Amino acid sequence: MAQGSARRCLRLEPGAAREVLGAADTLLFDCDGVLWRGDAAVAGAPAALSRLQARGKRLCYVTNNSSRTRDAYAEKLRRLGFPPAEPRQVFGSAHCAARYLRQALPPGAAAYVLGGPALGAELRAAGVPHLGPGPAALPGPGPADWARAPLDPAVRAVLVGFDEHFCYAKLCQALRYLQRGGPGCLLLGTNRDHLLPLEGGAAIPGTGCLVKAVEMAAEREAFIIGKPSRYIFDCVSSEFKIEPARTIMVGDRLDTDILMGNNCGLTTLLTLTGVTTLEEVKGHQESDCPSRKSLVPDYYVDSIADLLPALED
C-alpha cells in the first residue's frame, strides 16, 4: 500500500488476496504466532507457504527472537513441514546484531554481551570478538569489590539480548563498560519485546525488560536492532534487493511486525493466531493519535491458512 494511504485493516478475502499476492514478489514472515505456536505449526501454514514458493514468491523470515540462530530457524521450518529455507532467508535479531557490530566496531574491538548461546554463536560466525554469555557472579562481598572487577580493554560495545542468566553482576559490568567508554562505547539491544506470551495464557518477561534495566543504569538509550527498527528490514533489503512496494510483512504483533512494515512502506498483513486481537486494532483506528494509527495494518486474516483459496490453481 502506498505510504500515506489510510489503513482500514480489511479482511483479506480470497478475491482481494489474489490481487494483493499477485502484486508482491517477497513476503516477510514473523514466526512464532504466525507460522507456529510453540512446537506446532499453525494449521495450513506449511501448505500456504509451499504454494507461495511454488508461485515464485521469495519467502523470508524476520524474528526478534535472539535465542535461536538462523540455522536453528531453518531446521525448525524443515521439521514442521514448511518449504526448505536456507539460513540466509532468516533474519533474526541475533544475526542482525552481529552484522551491525561487524560493521560498526573497529578492528580488534569486542562486545560485552548479555545474551545466550545463540547470540554468541551468531557473533562468532560474523567474526565479532565478545565476552559475557553464561552465568556470572559478583566478584566480591561488597559494592567496592563490584566496582573494581577487571574490565577487558578491548570492549567497545554492550549488546543486550535475551539472557536467562541476567543478574546484578552483569548489570554492573555493562554499566562500567559504558561509563568507561562514554559515547564511544556502543549500546545495542536486540529488541524491546517486553513480554513473551506462552501457550495457555502464561507469559514471561521479554528482552525489552533487560534492555530497559541497562538503559536506566547508564542513562542512555540503546540502538535497537529488531522490529520495529528499520535496521532489520534494511538487512533483508540489502541481502535480496527487495522493493518495499512489492513486499508484504506478515505478523501477529502491531508494535513490532506491523509498525515496522508500515514505517518501511510495505503492505502489512496481520494474522490473529498470535498476540493481537481485532479489538486492539479497532482501538488504534478510532484514536486521534498518529502514532497509534501507525499500528493499523492494511489487511488481516484469521490465519495464514486463509490464503489457501487464493493460491489454488
| Active-site residue list | 30, 32
Rounded CA separation 35/271 (Å): 10
**8 A C-beta contact, residue 257 and residue 30:** yes
Identify the CA nearest to 243 among candidates 70, 27, 22, 62: 27
Number of alpha carbons in the 13 Å side-chain half-sphere of residue 172: 18
Class of residue 249 by CB neighbours under 10 A (exposed 0-12, middle 13-18, buried 19+): buried
Distance, CA of 307 to CA of 301 (rounded, Å):
8
Q: Detail the DSSP E strand segments found in the chain.
A: 10-11, 26-29, 36-37, 40-41, 58-63, 90-92, 110-114, 130-131, 155-160, 186-189, 195-197, 203-205, 223-224, 247-251, 267-271, 299-301
Cβ atoms of 149 and 173 within 8 Å: the answer is: yes
**Rounded distance, CA 178 to CA 216, Å?**
12
Alpha carbon distance, N-terminus to C-terminus of the chain: 26
Of the candidates 8, 19, 34, 86, the one whose C-alpha atom is nearest the C-alpha of residue 257 is 34
